[in-house]
A and B are shown apart, each in its own frame.
Chain A
Amino acid sequence: MSEAGYTSEAEVDSREACGSIETAGASSARARAVEALDSVVIRFVGDSGDGMQLTGSEFSKAVAKAGHGFATHPDYPSEIRAPTGTLFGVSGYQIQYGSRQVFTSGDAPDALVAMNPAALKTNLADVKHGGIIIANTGAFADTNLAKAGYTSNPLEDGSLDGYRLFKIDISALTAAALRDSGLSKKEVGRCKNYFALGLMLCLYGRPIEDEIADVYEKFAKKPEFADANVNALRAGFAYADAAEIFAATYQVREAAATPGVYRSITGNHAAALGFVAASESSGVGLFLGSYPITPATDILHELSALKHFDVTTYQAEDEIAGICSTIGAAYGGALGLTTTSGPGMALKTEAMGLAVMLELPLVIVNVQRGGPSTGLPTKIEQSDLLQAIYGRNGECPIPVIAARSPADCFDCAIEAFRIAVKYMTPVILLTDGGIANAAEPWRIPDVASLPKVEVSYRTDPEGFQPYARDENLARPWVRPGTPGMEHRVGGLEKDFLSGNISHDPLNHQRMVEVRAAKVAGTAQDIPPTTVEGPASGDLLVIGWGSTYGTIAQAREKAEADGRSVAHVHLRHLNPLPPDLGELLGRYKTVLVPELNMGQLSKLLRERYLREVVPLNKVQGKPFKVSEIHDRILELS
């Protein structure tokens, strides 16, 4: 199919495939109104095999290039390819983009693209009243309706009267556009997502030229698929441009972001880059020992592809070997990293205790997911905070930090290694399934401006004692291979200086206390806590991790409503910032929203002996801005 001739062909095909469209021409599109918006929330939903993650992420890229701020939320089932048409096989991707900084993927979609009845059924409740629904009528056959539990076709029975419903046979239109592609029916079916993408790009005023170049790059080794996808994309774009059913197209006003070079980045990708940055900054090789687990595995994928850096990746036989190989590498002088999610964290517990005893630097990433046990592997939750801080045998303190957004994972990765090597301690970095897979624009930092990670190995045998400490209570890092400093370490309690086995009662007390003091002492590096909003007043909202964007947006909204409300978002959770107690005292009420049953609330009560108001949600979904906003209004 020639590239130049797509418009007319697509128009003809559209008419043939979709008899309800009586007129289709460029003139009608030109006459159409353009509605300007500050922000928009779009959700793409379909079968897990429909390619909605790709459609969503490609749409994100297109709006990113236009300079919009955006935030995304991929939501997919834990089954790789669940049976087609089923409710549990629905995969979705939501994006919010706008003219200002966008903190969250949005509460309620303004537009829903539903590729089948199950996708409509599971997502309809979230759609804004009066919002747009674009439904792929080709998939609304009896069997699919039955699988989704519909007794009548919702596209026809009036149940969607409260929405702006657009019925488009995406299946047939794609098939028609690819009639001459030579692809099988199944292969043609897989191009539907590009039709949907083209349609949405047109509707929201984005050009498709970049996307076309992208497709050719992505499918460089399979030109027949590249051509087919490009044709589907063009057909979708042309359809939206030509079909009269859309009364208006939408244009989101452009964002005024900080000048710089940007890229779109997910939390897992940002973390991987941050770890490489820590390695480059310190001049010490990075070693990742890991076992695949959702939603953490992408960090392993990213780092595995970077063997031209000083990066070694080791896919271990299990979670325990993941951390143990890392301990071995750290003992050898590498920056040791292990990545996992909740259940894997549980398995690594004993080895974390060993790392505490050995006083070796190590970073353990827990990309949290819904628990307990296998729980909700692909869903968001923040319920491993207390596990991170307390979940080990013995008195076993470990510094814990948490990332607040996808891009923040980069900074937190560097911060985790900075603490680990300065204090010779394992450090836990908490992210979650929300920010790990969600993307946002990231202003690429200048390498020279990055925080330094400084490593020094002890090589002087004169007066060497393996457990003698520096001013930060850190013991020396001595690599095997250093002459004259041969010594043994292990999990048995050690003598305060020599590190030899000691069962002396007072020595044990002293060692327990010094390990606690060392971790508590890491607080000396925590910068003064940033407060968004008034420095004192009625209400302080305090959060940690991926709830940052939602809380920030809810606070801004409440402030616009005239409420006095401040927001503090914690990166350092163990130890807590030294100024936090004083800060809490400046507000009448403290609200603590968390995607758990109140774990930070417990910590704050215990640490500062003050009452706080928990706001807890455990549905495998992020907070909606409205949920926090409503609570703020009640409390302020």
Chain B
Amino acid sequence: MNDMSAPVALTKKDFESNQDVRWCPGCGDYAVLAQIQKLLPTLGIPRENFAFISGIGCSSRFPYYMDTYGMHSIHGRAPAIASGLKLARPELSVWVVTGDGDALAIGGNHFIHAMRRNVDLKVILLNNRIYGLTKGQYSPTSEMGKKTKSTPLGSIDRPFSPVALALGAGATFVARSVDTDLPHLASVLARAAAHKGTAFVEILQNCIVFNDGAYANLTDKATRDDARVILEDGKPLVFGKARDRGIRLRGMEPEVVTLGEGGVAESELVVHDEKAAHSGLAFFLSQFDTPDLPVPLGVFRSVRTPSYDELNAQLHADARAKKGDGRLAELLQGGETWTIA
């Protein structure tokens, strides 16, 4: 639980550190930084109770630019460090900022186990589908055939879907947004902040130097409405500039249908349910990709189950209720003893 006792009137400025931001001009990371700096003052949490933990990579420079507690750690390990911090200090609001290489390649194991355990962490993955800091090798989310410095003949690696991976690992909150759609990004981040348990947000982010335009179809005003579907809880899957298209199920297969006259009725469309008890629908949505289907943005899944830190606190409370507060002298004298006079 966050400490709400101290009245805080913080602003975005309070969260800007004195360090010069050193991302490339035009990098999508700037937008994410600004949105988080805008969000935090609205949460009613004292500034000193925020901790940002990152690994290695462009996105992992994030903590240096936040005037909060923060740690720029080692490659891939931020979820493990953040889990330890949260367990030691449950009153803190602990955020992990990571990238597609950091979270899904070298840190894949920690990533899935963080999702599985449901420690109360906010995990923000900036997915630019490329290795930026090492100057342009393909990443675990790069598309097949991608030509990079380490794949001059095109990549033969099949990519991960971070959302599908998080869902498969049992995450209780999974969302996706995109760096240039600021209102959408702000709303998704606010939802993540409000979630108790591991909240995972994939942010599709443009690398202007090594993978420019990777998400152009999702960000370009001319194409984006046809390339994406905004998920809204309890609403049918409708998309398109004229909102005249939708997703219908044919057996287990999704299909794009046209709405309105001569088309199908909205009532025939798949209705989003982010609180569904099992993650089948969310996983189904995570498979959508262009050109056949629009890319879903928004909250895929948000269910409340006890977080690991809550369960851990309960274990300790139960142990003390059962055995009383531990006493060292008794512990040392435990087991079988004998006296030599």
| A interface, CB within 8 angstroms of B | 61, 64-65, 67, 257-264, 273, 276-277, 280, 285, 287, 289, 306-312, 314, 316-318, 320-321, 324-334, 336, 350-351, 353-354, 358, 444-445, 447, 479-492, 500-501
Contact = CB atoms under 8 A, between A and B. Distances in A.
Nearest to B75: A350
B83 interface: yes
Interface stretch (B28-36, B139-147, B176-184, B315-323): B315-323
Contacts of B73: 324, 327, 354, 490-491
B324 interface: yes
A261 B319 contact: no
B253 interface: no
Nearest to B6: A483
A348 B322 CA distance: 36
A459 to B, nearest CB: 11
B297 to A, nearest CB: 30
Contact of B48 (A257, A277, A483, A489): A483
Contacts of B49: 480-481
A323 B47 CA distance: 27
Contact of B326 (A308, A312, A314, A488): A308
B69 interface: yes
A322 to B, nearest CB: 8
B99 to A, nearest CB: 16
Interface in B165-204: none
A306 B328 CA distance: 11
Contact of A491 (B19, B72, B82, B326): B72
A9 to B, nearest CB: 29
A295 to B, nearest CB: 20
B235 to A, nearest CB: 37
Nearest to A258: B340
Contact of A321 (B80, B87, B333): B80
Interface of B: 17, 19, 46-51, 53, 56, 63-64, 66-74, 77, 80-89, 91-92, 109-110, 113, 312, 315-316, 319-320, 322-326, 328-329, 331-341
Contacts of B331: 273, 276, 306, 309
30 contacts: A259-B341, A263-B333, A263-B337, A277-B328, A280-B328, A287-B84, A287-B87, A289-B84, A307-B316, A308-B320, A316-B113, A317-B113, A321-B77, A321-B110, A324-B74, A325-B81, A325-B83, A327-B73, A327-B81, A328-B81, A336-B84, A354-B74, A480-B49, A481-B48, A481-B69, A483-B48, A486-B47, A488-B66, A489-B72, A490-B72
Contact of A332 (B19, B74, B89): B89
Given A261-B337, A481-B49, A486 B72 contact: no
A407 B146 CA distance: 60
A363 to B, nearest CB: 14
Contacts of B71: 331, 358, 488-490
Given A336-B84, A486-B68, A445 B48 contact: no
Nearest to B317: A307
A488 B64 contact: yes
B88 A317 contact: no
B72 A492 contact: yes
A163 B325 CA distance: 55
B251 to A, nearest CB: 38
B48 A320 contact: no
A314 B309 CA distance: 11
Nearest to A490: B72
B338 A261 contact: yes
A308 B322 contact: yes
Most A C-beta atoms less than 10 A away, residue of B68, B77, B80, B323: B80
Contacts of A329: 84-85, 87-88
Contacts of B80: 289, 316-317, 320-321, 324-325, 328
B40 to A, nearest CB: 12
Given A329-B87, A480-B51, A324 B17 contact: no
B334 to A, nearest CB: 8
A445 B88 contact: no
Contact of B63 (A64, A324, A483, A488): A488
Most A C-beta atoms less than 10 A away, residue of B50, B84, B328: B84
A329 B81 CA distance: 8
A273 B331 CA distance: 8
A262 to B, nearest CB: 5
A328 B332 contact: no
Given A259-B341, A287-B87, A328 B326 contact: no
Nearest to A318: B109
A258 B341 CA distance: 8
Contacts of B325: 308-309
A262 B326 CA distance: 21
Nearest to A285: B88
Contact of A306 (B72, B86, B326): B326
Most B C-beta atoms less than 10 A away, residue of A61, A289, A327, A492: A327
A312 B312 contact: yes
Given A480-B92, A491-B74, A331 B85 contact: yes
Contacts of B85: 328-329, 331-332, 480
A276 B327 CA distance: 10
4 A-B pairs with the lowest CB-CB distances in the bound complex, closest first: A328-B84, A490-B72, A325-B84, A309-B326
A297 B135 CA distance: 42
A308 B319 contact: yes
A495 to B, nearest CB: 11
Contact of B340 (A259, A289, A310, A486): A259
B315 A307 contact: yes
Most B C-beta atoms less than 10 A away, residue of A258, A263, A482, A490: A490
A483 to B, nearest CB: 5
A318 B76 CA distance: 13
A328 B64 contact: no
B110 A447 contact: no
B109 A480 contact: no
Given A333-B88, A481-B91, 11 more contacts: A61-B336, A65-B336, A261-B333, A262-B340, A285-B88, A287-B88, A308-B326, A314-B83, A328-B87, A336-B84, A490-B63
Given A306-B326, A307-B315, A444-B337, A350 B74 contact: yes
Nearest to A277: B328
Given A334-B88, A488-B17, A491-B74, A262 B69 contact: no
Nearest to A263: B337
